Each structure stands twice: as structure tokens, then as C-alpha cells.
Amino acid sequence: MTERFDRAAQNWDKGDMRTSIANAVFQTITSRIALLTHMDILDFGCGTGLLSFKVAPMVRSVTGVDLSEKMLEQLEAKNTPSLRVVPLCQDIVHHPLERQFHGIVSSMAIHHVEDTAALFKTFRSCLKRDGFLAIADLEAEDGTFHSHGNEGVCHWGFDRDALRTTIEDAGFGNVRFHTAYTVEKEGKNYPVFLVTAMKL
């Protein structure tokens, strides 16, 4: 999986769909959660930083974690003295972080993680008291969303009720789903949800 993202990194931001999803996810996050200037935020599966750089001006810091070094190189190239996202190449499920954040955001990444139960438990350990999640991904689909094929795709989207149970079992409450965007491809609609939750 990492190799595919490394190969795609250089042209990643040229996709209108990815930019549109990131814009819509950011707007939905800010309509549901107050991003404040004292906050340190983790962007999980940040890629080239399409979401990270939208969040960064509103908070104290954003750390973007990803497994693709080439994606993170593209992110690093966008940094400026006045707007910076800290890149981190690390598998946080198997190699946990040693710091905590006020919130975790993510866009279109968790369907690449096989063990979502372990992932959300990791998220909880990464959050400060009363920390929040704002995670966007695909509604359950039939496996046709990824036009390149399903290499590295562990889930064909998510059923909301099943994912709610996973999130609650990991130690979160106030779990709420919102439709953030709908991708239209080849005559099919693929809704993208944003799920928000609070650490208990």
C-alpha cells in the first residue's frame, strides 16, 4: 500500500475530487467543532496535507502523520515560515506516540487500516482529556469507488452503526455522523461522512 501512495504523491494534489473532499470535510468539521488557537491537532493519514493546511491557521499546531514518505515530502514542500505542518512518518498503532493532542482529524484514510478497533483505541490514547475526533471516510460501498483497484483498501467504506459501536467500544461518547460530501463517479454516488466524538 505504501508503495502505491509513494508513486502517486507527486501528482496527488492535481485531483479535483481530492481537493473537493478536503474542502468539504474541513467545512463540516468547522461547522461542528470549535478549532481554537491553543489546540494541538493530529491529522491521521494526512497525505500531502490537503486537510492539514486548512486546519493549521486556526490552531496552535498540526502534526500530520502518514506511512508514505513521499506524501510527507510533498507536505513538507508546502511549509512556509508562517504556516507549518509537522510531518511524521510513523505507524501509530504499532508504535504509539509519546504526546497527546486536543483533537484528531482525518480524511479518507481509515479505510486503509485493517484493524479499526485498534486504531480507535490508539486515537483515544493520543488524545488529551475531553479531546475530540473528526474522522471522514466513505459510507459502505460496493468496491467500485477506487478506480485504480482495491490494492491497500481494507474496507469498502463503513456502515455507520457498526462504526459507531467500534468508536464507542474504544472509549468515546457523543458519537455523531454528518454527511460531508457526495462523490459522483461514472453514474454512481459515493457519500462521504464525517463522524465526530469526544474522549470519555
CATH code of the domain containing 155 = 3.40.50.150
Task: Give the mean model confidence (pLDDT) for residues 14-25.
Answer: 88
Q: Work out how many domains the chain is built from and give that number.
A: 1
Residue 147 pLDDT: 72
The reply to whether the predicted model has a pTM over 0.95 is no
Summarised one tens digit per residue, pLDDT across range 61-110 is 999 999 999 999 999 999 999 999 999 999 999 999 999 999 999 999 99
Angle in degrees, CA 70, 158, 47, rounded to 5: 15
Summarised one tens digit per residue, pLDDT across range 106-163 is 999 999 999 999 999 999 999 999 999 999 999 999 999 987 767 778 999 999 999 9
Q: Residue 56 phi/psi, 5° resolution? A: -55, -40
Strands 61-66 and 86-89: parallel
What residues contact residue 197 under an 8 Å CB cut-off, 6+ apart? 132, 133, 167, 172, 173, 174, 175, 176
Residue 152 pLDDT: 76
Amino acid at 163: L
φ/ψ bin of 5: left (φ > 0), alpha (ψ from -120 to 50), beta (otherwise):
alpha
Residue 13 pLDDT: 58
Give the range of the structural domain holding residue 26, as residue numbers without chain letter. Answer: 2-199
